[in-house]
Each structure stands twice: as structure tokens, then as C-alpha cells.
């Protein structure tokens, strides 16, 4: 059976969740093969929990782009891979390294001529969800399989996350220590995201938490986010109905935590995809990115977005002169609150 290398050095947690249906299908195609994945150090530990990965190779770029590229290609050459599956949507480096390493079969999308480094490719398609785009690459290995159905969500493309009963137990203990009972209805609010342009203002999240605490007594709010967002979370109101767990769970515990929640409210972020993967209905606020490609994948999720002429721009810094981040700022607390009420059936 072939020795397989999967390449995705995008470095974001959400990407690792979205490639899982493709990793699962690749394992079905080659059940006895050894599957290695090339990722950035940020997600290497997480991907070692993925049941469809045998080992991780880390692309740290410690010595500069050129030196690290050739050094990594030399290392990969020694590992004698037979197939390289390039899942990163736009990186030339992800295609160039397997080419330098002499991997005989190299497949991926032809992004702006990247096919020159591939043995076979499919057109780069920005009009489909990333989950479906990743899966479509495998049609180069199994041309007769219908890997992406006409429906946007099916069992073949369903997401999953890899937390265990250990994480579920630790999360239950955390919630119990914060006064959460099994009869409480939990709503997660994830306050952070990786790009400043995707961020909803903290004052809006603050107003939203105040609204939710007035709905019903047994509804409790769980605030989630990374360690970097702990200072931001201090601007939220303090209440016995609000549990601030920002920076207080690891990524697998976050999956177990979101699994316990009845609803998740978030901007476009890694936790948004984790919530979708654990089947928690999600209200996602979208600005500079396109929900067609990046929405929470699955059923029972809702998108709130505004039609602004410059979106989707995919810029990490807003270039507008009249009003910064207008696409996110136009999303009102009232419409998010209305959607929460509707989703909760109250």
C-alpha cells in the first residue's frame, strides 16, 4: 500500500476540522497505508488526536523560507512517499516541496498555475464549501466515486472532532465547579477570531449577554476564547448566569464544552467549526469572508451577514476610508438576539 503525505500548512484549527472528511475518505481508500500530514506547529498536537492520521510532520520555517523549503523537501524525500495530497488551497510551497522531494503522485487544485508542480490537478473552485473542495481533490485518485453529492451535507462529508471521555469528564467538573447544574440550558458565546476584520465589537457581545440573561433563569452563558482574548473578556458583564472560560480550556476540552451547549454564537473562527463538528447549532456572524466557502458545515446553523459592496474581501486589515469594518459593524445586537430567541424556541 502507498505511503501517503497530506499537505496543509495553513496553520488554523478550523482548517484541520474541515479537512477531516477528506482524511477519513483517504483512509477508506487506502486503509492499510501510512498517512502522514504536513502541518504548522500550532496544530501538530491537535492533529495527533485525529484518528485518520498516523503521524505529523511539522513545517516551522525556522531558517527562512528558501532554506527551510529545501531542507524540508530533503527530509520528505528520505521518507519515500508514494502519494502527496495537497489540501492547502493556495500555497505554492505546499505543492513545491513534494515536487522537490520527488513524490511520484502529487494531486491538488490548480491555483494560478500551481499545477506545474502536480502530476494531476482539478480547477480551483471558490464557489463551493471548503469541505467539498477538499473532498473533490480525491476524485483524482478515485475518478468513478461521487465524493461530493449535490446536497451540501451528507454522512460522507460530515465533520467530527476528536475529544474523548476524559475531556468530557474534565469539562463536567469545570462546569460543576462554576455552579452549572445538569438542568441548566447552556449557550456558548465565542468572542474571538483570528482576524481583526472578522471581529464583532466586544461592546456588542456585552449587550448580547445582558439580553440573554433576561430571557430565562435556567439559561447560562459560557464565554469561550483563547488566552489572548482574556483581557477582552474582562469587558463583559459579571453575573452568576455568566461563566467566563476564556483561555481556561484546551482545544479538545473546548470540543467537549461546545458539545454540551444548546447553541453557539460566534464570528467566523476555529471554534465555529468545532461547534459544527460536535453538532451544536450555531449562529455565525460573517463579514470579510464568504459563508458559501466557510460557513459552519452541516444542518441547523444560521448565518448573519450584511450586503456590503466590498465583501467578501478576505483582508485582515480593512481598507475602507469611510467606515472601518462596516461589514461587521452593521450586524446589530437586536438581530442576533432575535435569532437566538427563535433558535431557543422562546
Among residues 315, 299, 300, 294, which one has the least CA distance to residue 18? Answer: 294
Q: Say what the pTM is.
A: 0.94
Q: How many CB atoms lie within 10 A of CB 85?
A: 25
Q: Label residue 128 left, alpha or beta by phi (over 0 means left) and psi (-120 to 50 means alpha).
A: beta
* Residue 319 sits in the same domain as residue 212: yes
Please report, for the domain that includes residue 272, its CATH number.
Answer: 3.40.50.2000
Whether 132 and 221 map to the same domain: the answer is: no
pLDDT along the chain (346 residues), means of 10: 94 93 96 96 94 94 79 96 97 95 97 96 94 95 70 73 97 95 95 93 95 87 93 86 94 97 97 98 97 95 96 93 92 96 88
- pLDDT given for residue 120 in this prediction: 97
Q: What pLDDT shows up at residue 152?
A: 54
Same domain, 172 and 298: yes
How confident is the model at residue 20, as a pLDDT? Answer: 96
Residues 89 and 233 in one domain: no
Number of structural domains (the chain) is: 2
Pair 207, 180: CB distance under 8 Å: no
- Angstrom CA distances, 76 to 35, 38, 80, 143, stand at 13, 10, 7, 27
Task: Kindly state the greatest CA–CA separation across the chain.
Answer: 62
151 and 172 inside one domain: no
Shared-domain flag, residues 186 and 123: no
At 154 the pLDDT is 66
Cβ pair 277, 195 in contact under 8 A? no
Of 125, 157, 189, the one marking the end of a domain is 157
CA distance 49 to 256: 14
Identify whether residues 170 and 210 lie together within a single domain. yes
pLDDT of residue 146: 66
Which of 95, 129, 157 finishes a domain?
Answer: 157
Q: 309-314, long-range: CB within 8 Å, 24+ apart, which pairs? A: 311/287, 312/288, 313/197, 313/288, 314/288, 314/289
- Looking at residue 170, its pLDDT comes to 97
pLDDT at site 143: 77
326 and 186: one domain? yes
Q: By C-alpha distance, which of 204, 193, 241, 166 is closest to 336?
A: 204
Boundary of a domain, candidates 157, 181, 211: 157
- 135 and 199 belong to one structural domain: no
Residue-range definition of the domain harbouring residue 195: 166-344
Is the previous residue joined to 312 through a cis bond, with omega within 30 degrees of 0? Answer: yes
Amino acid at each position: 500500500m502507498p505511503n501517503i503525505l497530506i499537505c496543509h500548512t495553513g496553520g488554523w484549527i478550523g482548517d484541520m476540522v474541515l479537512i477531516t472528511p477528506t482524511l477519513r475518505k483517504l483512509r477508506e481508500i487506502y486503509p492499510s497505508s501510512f498517512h502522514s500530514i504536513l502541518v504548522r506547529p500550532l496544530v501538530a498536537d491537535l492533529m495527533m488526536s485525529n484518528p485518520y492520521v498516523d503521524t505529523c510532520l511539522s513545517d516551522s520555517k525556522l531558517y527562512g523560507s528558501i532554506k527551510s523549503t529545501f531542507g524540508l523537501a530533503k527530509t520528505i524525500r528520505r521518507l519515500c512517499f508514494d502519494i502527496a495530497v495537497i489540501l492547502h488551497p493556495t500555497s505554492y510551497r505546499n505543492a513545491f516541496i513534494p515536487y522537490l522531494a520527488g513524490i511520484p503522485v502529487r494531486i491538488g487544485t490548480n491555483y494560478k498555475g500551481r499545477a506545474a508542480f502536480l502530476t494531476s490537478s482539478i480547477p480551483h473552485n471558490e464557489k463551493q464549501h471548503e469541505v467539498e473542495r477538499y473532498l473533490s481533490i480525491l476524485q483524482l485518485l478515485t475518478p468513478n466515486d461521487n465524493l461530493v453529492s449535490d446536497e451540501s451535507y451528507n454522512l460522507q462529508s460530515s465533520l467530527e472532532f476528536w475529544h474523548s471521555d476524559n475531556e468530557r469528564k474534565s469539562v463536567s467538573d469545570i462546569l460543576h465547579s462554576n455552579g452549572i447544574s445538569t438542568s441548566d440550558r447552556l449557550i456558548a458565546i465565542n468572542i474571538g477570531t483570528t482576524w481583526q476584520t472578522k471581529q464583532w465589537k466586544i461592546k456588542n457581545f456585552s449587550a448580547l449577554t445582558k439580553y440573554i440573561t433576561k430571557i430565562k433563569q435556567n439559561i447560562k452563558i459560557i464565554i469561550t476564547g483563547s488566552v489572548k482574548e482574556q483581557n477582552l473578556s474582562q469587558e463583559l458583564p459579571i453575573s452568576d448566569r455568566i461563566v467566563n472560560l476564556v483561555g481556561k480550556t484546551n482545544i479538545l476540552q473546548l470540543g467537549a464544552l461546545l458539545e454540551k451547549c444548546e447553541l453557539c454564537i460566534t464570528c467566523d473562527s476555529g471554534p465555529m467549526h468545532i461547534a459544527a463538528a460536535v453538532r451544536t447549532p450555531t449562529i455565525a456572524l460573517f463579514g470579510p469572508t464568504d459563508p458559501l466557502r466557510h460557513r459552519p458545515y452541516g444542518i441547523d446553523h444560521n448565518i448573519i451577514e450584511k450586503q456590503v459592496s466590498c465583501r467578501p474581501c478576505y483582508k485582515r486589515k480593512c481598507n475602507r476610508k469611510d467606515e472601518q469594518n462596516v461589514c461587521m459593524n452593521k450586524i446589530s445586537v437586536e438581530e442576533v438576539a432575535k435569532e437566538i430567541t427563535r433558535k431557543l424556541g422562546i
